[in-house]
């Protein structure tokens, strides 16, 4: 009897876990209702035949598929610009610090390592922001319009579970 209960519990737990996405598959999404209002944003946590679960910070939010208008996968351009500016500033600081020369006869004049780091960071910020903003503009938008239709939802769910998104 114990073995039967154990096998039954194991089978139930395997089918429930199979729809929770691995951490690498948890894409950032914005969820909109049928009226086009943003309802939720966060990481795609799990999908089932009738629900979508989003992880935002440490909490899980479950929405019915019939209440979903659209799901958008692309982050905003501002997010890309911020990431690009931080990367550009970091690279600029490293290059600026490495190229600092305390010799007064150098090509760019006398500069300490700290001055090189600061000037490289300040110059790298806008360059990185421009590159990040440009990549945000050029990135293809991925939007799925569910509009409360369960057939569209099932297609979306199968694509997510097969790794298509």
Distance CA 29, CA 41 (A): 6
Cα gap 125→1, rounded to integer Å: 67
31-52 as b/e: b if 16+ CB within 10 A: bbeeeeeebeebbbbbbeeebb
Indicate the DSSP class of residue 32.
Answer: E
* Structure confidence by residue, pLDDT tens digits, 8-25: 444 444 444 445 655 555
- pLDDT higher than 50, residue 87: yes
> Does 4 have pLDDT greater than 60?
no
Question: Residue range 53-58: average pLDDT?
Answer: 88
Please, where in the chain does CATH 2.30.30.100 lie? 19-74+141-161
Asked whether the whole model's pTM tops 0.85, one would answer no
Extract the tokens encoding 146. Answer: 């569910």
On whether the 19-74+141-161 domain is CATH 3.40.50.1820, my answer is no
Instruction: Please determine, for residue 31, whether its predicted confidence score (pLDDT) is greater than 50.
Output: yes
């Amino acid at each position: 009897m114990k073995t039967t209960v154990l096998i039954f519990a194991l089978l139930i737990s395997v089918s429930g876990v199979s729809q929770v996405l691995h951490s690498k598959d948890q894409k950032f999404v914005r969820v909109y209702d049928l009226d086009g209002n943003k309802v939720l944003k966060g990481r795609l946590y799990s999908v089932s035949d009738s629900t979508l679960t989003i992880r935002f910070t440490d909490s899980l939010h479950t929405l019915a598929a019939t209440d979903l208008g659209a799901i958008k996968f692309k982050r905003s351009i501002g997010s890309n610009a911020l990431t690009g500016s931080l990367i550009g500033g970091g690279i600029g600081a490293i290059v600026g610090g490495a190229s600092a020369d305390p010799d007064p006869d150098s090509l760019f004049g006398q500069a300490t390592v700290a001055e090189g780091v600061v000037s490289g960071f300040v110059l790298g910020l806008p360059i990185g922001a421009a590159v990040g903003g440009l990549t945000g503009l050029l990135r293809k938008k991925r939007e799925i319009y569910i509009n409360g239709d369960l057939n569209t939802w099932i297609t979306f769910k199968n694509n997510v579970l097969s790794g298509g998104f």
